[in-house]
Amino acid sequence: MKVFLRSAFSVTAAVVIAMCAYFVLTFASLWHAGNFDNREDADVIIVMGAAQYDGRPSPLLEARLQHAWELWSTEKRAPLIALTGGKREGDRYTESEAGQMWLLEKGVPQSAIVMETVGESTWQSLEALAPVLRASQVVSAIMVSSDWHVGRAASTLEDFGFDVTTSAANVSSRMWKLREWARETIGVGIGRIIGFDTLFSITG
């Protein structure tokens, strides 16, 4: 009996250690994605949506748009900018429409903007955007989002068959939240095991 208990304890300990190591590595990969840009060019720059206020981007969304605009206008990393994000009940504009108006005011031509307008989550947004990108002959993408979120968004888009690199937006340190990193680490860790589509079907 003692031998059995020792064996069971050893197996349990090994599983716990392996799980901890897996999530540590997952966090490390997300941290790398949120803090490293390989400077490669791509077919499109994708901006993940965030809150908007009657057509005016929230500070978080504006930071993402600003970064994408700099990649497009100054660094000329891609010819297209793709926008994501639907709207809440009662809103006049979607997140992507607010982003579109912001980019047009910055001088980006309508022909350089593609978008989806129905997504209410990372998975829904990228699922809706994927056929739009394929219709535009997009193969590779630069994912723009907040540092804590960009890794999950990139991994999700890769599930749809695109080559993805990351370039996180510069967000004020007061917007940095430990719980966001923890949530993303757990979500990505699970999503990589069961698939992000399955994870979305469970969590919504």
What type of residue sits at position 189?
A: G
pLDDT in tens, 30-66: 777 778 888 999 999 999 999 999 999 999 999 999 9
Q: 173 pLDDT exceeds 60? A: no
Query: What's the pTM?
Result: 0.84
Q: What domain range is 134 assigned to?
A: 2-203
Which CATH number does the domain housing residue 34 bear?
3.40.50.620
Q: What is the DSSP string of 77-143?
A: --SEEEE-----TT-SS-HHHHHHHHHHHTT--GGGEEE----SSHHHHHHHHHHHHHHTT--EEEE
Q: Are 129 and 159 in contact (CB under 8 A)?
A: no
Q: Is the dihedral of CA 52, 56, 62, 68 positive or negative?
A: positive
Number of structural domains, the chain?
1
pLDDT in tens, 126-150: 999 999 999 999 999 999 999 989 9
Contacts of 117 (CB under 8 A, 6+ apart): 85, 86, 87, 94, 96, 97
- Length, in residues, of the chain: 204
Mean pLDDT of the chain: 86
pLDDT in tens, 106-127: 999 999 999 999 999 999 999 9
- For residues 184-197, one letter each, b for 16 or more C-beta atoms within 10 angstroms of the residue's C-beta and e for the rest, the string is bbebbbbbbeeebe
Burial of 200 (0-12, 13-18, 19+ CB in 10 A): middle
